[in-house]
Structure 1
Amino acid sequence: MTTPSEPTEAPPPSKWHDTFRRITQGNAIISVLAVLLALVVGGILIAVTDEDVQAAAKYFFARPGDTIAAVWSAVWGAYAALFQGAIYNFGAPTFARAIRPLTETLTFATPLIAAGLGVALAFRIGMFNIGGRGQMLMASAAAGYIGFAWDLPFPLHMIVALLAGLIAGALWAGIAGVLKATTGAHEVIVTIMLNYVAFYLISWMLRTPGLLQAPGSSNPKTAPMKATAIFPDLLGPQFNLHFGFILSIAATFLVAWIINRSSLGFKFRAVGVNPNAARVAGINVRNMYIYGMLISGALLGLAGVNQVLGTITTGFSADIDAGIGFDAITVALLGRSTPWGTFAAGILFGAFKAGGFSMQAAQQIPIEIVAVVQSLIVLFIAAPPLVRTIFFLPSPERDRRRAEKARQKALKAEVKADTELEGAAK
């Protein structure tokens, strides 16, 4: 009597195969490839809008090499100017001038990192904080008023102005958190409306003597910040990089600790995954919404303070946010709502901002091209299946289905073997 053979198991995948699978199926590779695709599409737009390319394209079939050379010159020149304006200027006479673009990138990235962390933290709780503009404006107003109206010694003056900005941003975002927790009001609608409220409130204060308007002036602008309230330079007066960048790094460490190491972060993540299950587990979901928006608003407030005390110290107007509140959404998405991913995304977008001006000046490339590239990054990040299809990457869903089919097949084979054994025994 022969016994049925045991079902054979497939050999486990090699270490390198498993590593490759993890890389190609991870979120980080999607972000990198989304940036690459956006740069490729941006290069196409640069070529299409270039006058030399358009002129060479008229006789493409007669001399196609001219068109190809013009396309290469336009795209290479634009991205080379972008690199030299954002990272390192090879044509600079001194090393200090050569690395100045990198310091400008970090300066532009400073408020983007702080604001992106605020949006990313809200994402982890399942909330969409689209009110970054209003929170930055309120923080700018609070920190700016103390910065030009109060007389305190350094560094006390700077610390008080910083804390005032953080508190103002937190309280303004906390309004949306309280309404969400108590009435169920959708935070997207509430924060959008609060953006308008903050903008027109600050505009009124900037036109009212005795509030934010500079004394003796009729312009809707504040007085310059006092030297005791301004963030100190990190690399000297020849660079714009200031202490706010250190604060953004500290904020990244803090958010990483909150999300990954603290009990509060565990509750945030639980509410973000499933608020009903979190409620059953004993987590006060309402409080998490309030706490989350308070911290998110404080981080966006830090971005506003950076604008007032670090970047624009000669006084500010109602456009002090410079669109950073909305750019922060893109930064958080590119960073996959992780602290260090958001930090890297903020530096990348800071490079786009710093290099975009150089690209426009050196190659006459419209600055809007940079905005198009940023928009395309969001588009590709929002469509991972499209990115996987373009680069022929394996799909996690497909691998899961294959693994499930293999498991079911092995289970059926095992049941069949047991049945045959029981029949043979009888």
Structure 2
Amino acid sequence: MASNKLFNILVPIISVLLGLIAGAIIMLVSGYNPIAGYTALWNGAFGDLYFMGETVRQITPYILTGLAVAFAFRSGLFNIGAEGQVIVGWLAAVWVGLAVDAPMIIHLPLAIIAAAAAGAIWGFVPGILKARLGVHEVIVTIMMNYIALYCTNEIIRSVLTDNMDSTDIIPPSASLASEWLQGLTYFSRMHYGILIALFAAVVMWFIMQRTTIGYELKAVGFNQHASKYAGMKVSKNIILSMAIAGAFAGLAGAMEGLGTYGSISVMSGFTNLGFDGIAVALLGANTAFGVVLAAILFGVLKVGAINMPTGAEVPTELVDIIIALIIFFVASSYIIRWILLRFKKEGK
């Protein structure tokens, strides 16, 4: 048992270190100083209170999309649709934020619940198709991403605005933004959503580790046939898993709509929050605590990398390659685990 825990700690650490080393080699070969490059990355994430606030702001949706992917993984499902669930959650949150006139104690929770419900519905569709008809969730969730993107753009132009590319800013009663937090972090876009994201991680941990539902979801993930033989309702658990996963992703959309931007604009492409959530879940070993740690890493990389071109004169294209290499080694963590197990067996 202790050996398994040690492996779960070592594998992600080695993955990140290999990614950093590969990035350093790329910088050296290209004629740039890797120490200066990584120093600029660190300063870009933690150099002052503004950058720290922006880093926390970026970590917030990563926690939620990571949970969305990890929760489905634990049930044996591959939720590629977190991106679409983020978009519909974002749309629902802003829509309620603009359409409802109520005190903050009602308005803000209502907008957040609407985002979670929209994401849950978007996860429910591939869940029921998988459970009832056996349609593979990867195919359906990929298609649902595009449906979410283009339907949202049309709703923004035709329903929420009069053929405009962006909605109005939501009123303060529906906003997660805080003047106190912004003043504390030199007017960064940090907001109270980080508390919701951390609470969501606790909720996932509690469901998976302390409830009968969580036990059944994990059992279905391990072996659907054995679970069915044991009397568990496999179809119900598949649908429930995808709906809950979608709700987490929908909340990530609410963090953007009610916190970071306060509005929603026509999108020329995906936000990539949902796709990055796949790597976050993999690095976090599909556990709630691991997802939080992995989200912190990704938030640091995304925000800190912005400072590398100006702080170390590393071209933007090279920065993208370095970040991609780190993500590659993170996604290859299972290969690293296999290599470590081979060494362990040979050492006996």
* Alignment TM-score, normalising by the size of structure 2: 0.92
1:137–1:318 contact (8 Å) kept in structure 2: no
1:308–1:316 contact (8 Å) kept in structure 2: no
> Cα distance, 1:374 vs. partner?
4.2
1:42–1:369 contact (8 Å) kept in structure 2: no
Distance 1:368 1:131 in 2: 27
**Are 1:219 and 2:164 counterparts?**
yes
1:260-409 alignment to 2 at 5 Å?
Answer: 260-318=209-267, 322-384=271-333, 387=336, 393=340, 395=342, 398=345
> Cα distance, 1:376 vs. partner?
2.9
Report the more deviating stretch, 226-235 or 321-330: 226-235
Greater per-residue helix proportion: 2
Q: Show structure 1 runs of 5+ residues with no match.
A: 1-17, 54-70, 90-97, 403-426
Which residue of 6, 9, 16 maps to 1:35? Answer: 16
Which residue of 111, 129, 145 maps to 1:161? Answer: 111
Structure 2 partner of 1:79: 38
1:333–1:378 contact (8 Å) kept in structure 2: no
Distance 1:378 1:356 in 2: 13
Cα distance, 1:273–1:173 mapped onto 2, change above 3 Å: same
> Cα distance, 1:158 vs. partner?
1.0
Cα distance, 1:27–1:306 mapped onto 2, change above 3 Å: same
> Cα distance, 1:45 vs. partner?
1.5
> Cα distance, 1:381 vs. partner?
4.0
Greater RCO (Cα-Cα under 8 Å, separation 6 or more) = 2
Distance 1:229 1:308 in 2: 10
1:307–1:321 contact (8 Å) kept in structure 2: no
1:32-111 alignment to 2 at 5 Å?
Answer: 32-49=13-30, 53=31, 74-87=33-46, 89=47, 98-111=48-61
Distance 2:304 2:280 in 1: 17
Cα distance, 1:132–1:320 mapped onto 2, change above 3 Å: same
Cα distance, 1:385–1:169 mapped onto 2, change above 3 Å: closer
Residue identity in the other structure for 2:152: I
1:107-186 alignment to 2 at 5 Å?
Answer: 107-186=57-136
Report the more deviating stretch, 159-168 or 225-234: 225-234
> Cα distance, 1:223 vs. partner?
1.5
> Cα distance, 1:165 vs. partner?
0.6
Structure 1 partner of 2:200: 251
> Cα distance, 1:228 vs. partner?
1.3
Cα distance, 1:374–1:329 mapped onto 2, change above 3 Å: farther
Cα distance, 1:371–1:339 mapped onto 2, change above 3 Å: farther
Residue identity in the other structure for 1:282: G
Which residue of 134, 140, 143 maps to 1:193? Answer: 143
Residue identity in the other structure for 2:219: A
Residue identity in the other structure for 1:29: L
Distance 2:238 2:134 in 1: 11
> Cα distance, 1:101 vs. partner?
2.0
* Alignment TM-score, normalising by the size of structure 1: 0.76
Cα distance, 1:271–1:393 mapped onto 2, change above 3 Å: closer
1:259–1:269 contact (8 Å) kept in structure 2: yes
Secondary structure, aligned partner of 2:188: coil
> Cα distance, 1:303 vs. partner?
0.4
Cα distance, 1:315–1:127 mapped onto 2, change above 3 Å: closer
| RMSD of Structure 2 on Structure 1 (CA) | 2.3
Cα distance, 1:273–1:315 mapped onto 2, change above 3 Å: closer
1:124–1:272 contact (8 Å) kept in structure 2: yes
Distance 1:330 1:357 in 2: 20
> Cα distance, 1:100 vs. partner?
2.7
> Cα distance, 1:241 vs. partner?
1.6
**Are 1:235 and 2:185 counterparts?**
no
